[in-house]
Amino acid sequence: MSLKLSPDFRSKTVPYRVFFTWDITYKCNYRCSYCNFNGPDGWNENVVTVNPGLEKWINIWRKIYDRYGSCEIHFAGGEPFVYPDFMDLIENLSVIHTMEFSTNLFWEPDDFIRRINPGRARIGVSFHPEFISFEVFFKKVKKIKDAGFEIWVNYVGYPPIFKNMYEYKKRFEAIGVFMNVLPFKGKYNGRIYPEGYTDEEKKYLEKVCDYPWTKKTFDFAFNKKEEKNDEYLCRMG
């Protein structure tokens, strides 16, 4: 089954009428030492993923389109790209909806680039140096960027992987990609984070996190007052 574009297609109507965040699976192929996503006891190997089948999902999202028009779907998890028939699913949904992905980019980009229109998707990729080398990850990011997709990188400010964080950020900036640093939340070396960052670590984070939005994230983590700015519209308008 494949979707066909309808005459009343409203993909270019801004703001988008509905934004969905779809945690399509809580399974992940990585086991990062700083991630306790499935609860205080760590990863649950018995996580159940609901999979009614490709045709069922296409019908559901077609009905959502008929009711609301073109929507924005943010795929998250877990790792969404481990979901069964995921490429077939998103290729079909990209006809009537726009998409955003949160992924660890374990997958090779070629099939994605071939099947998805860059105007229909944007990608937030997380770099996890415990599972992939920087150079391999960088090449994948560059390939996706060169194909015309909006892409950015997320990196967790976990003390054992602070090394080279600033250099990584500069490498990505050189190809027009932002690298956002996210506060580590959890326990390390007997300290609770993000409250447990040392003054030296905070100083380094200030150097790396010089984008307004990353500074705002860490200010919030450190309970600093937020200065409101109502000038800019969000993606929903």
**Structure tokens of 154?**
């997320």
User: For a pLDDT cut of 90, what percent of the chain falls above it?
Assistant: 64
Residue with tokens 């956002």: 180
31, 84 in Cβ contact below 8 A? no
Query: What does pTM read for this prediction?
Result: 0.84
80, 124 in Cβ contact below 8 A? no
Q: What is the DSSP letter of 151?
A: E
For 48, counting Cβ atoms within 10 Å of its Cβ (0-12 exposed, 13-18 middle, 19+ buried), the class is exposed
**Structure tokens of 57?**
């999902």
Average pLDDT of every residue of the chain: 86
> Nearest-CA neighbor of 61 among 83, 39, 88, 94?
94
Centre a 10 Å sphere on the Cβ of residue 199 and count the other Cβ atoms it contains. 7
User: For a pLDDT cut of 70, what percent of the chain falls above it?
Assistant: 82
**Of residues 82 and 237, more confidently modeled:** 82
For domain 19-184, give the CATH superfamily. Aldolase class I (3.20.20.70)
Q: What per-residue confidence (pLDDT) applies to 217? A: 83
Q: Which helix (H) or strand (E) element contains residue 73?
A: strand 72-76
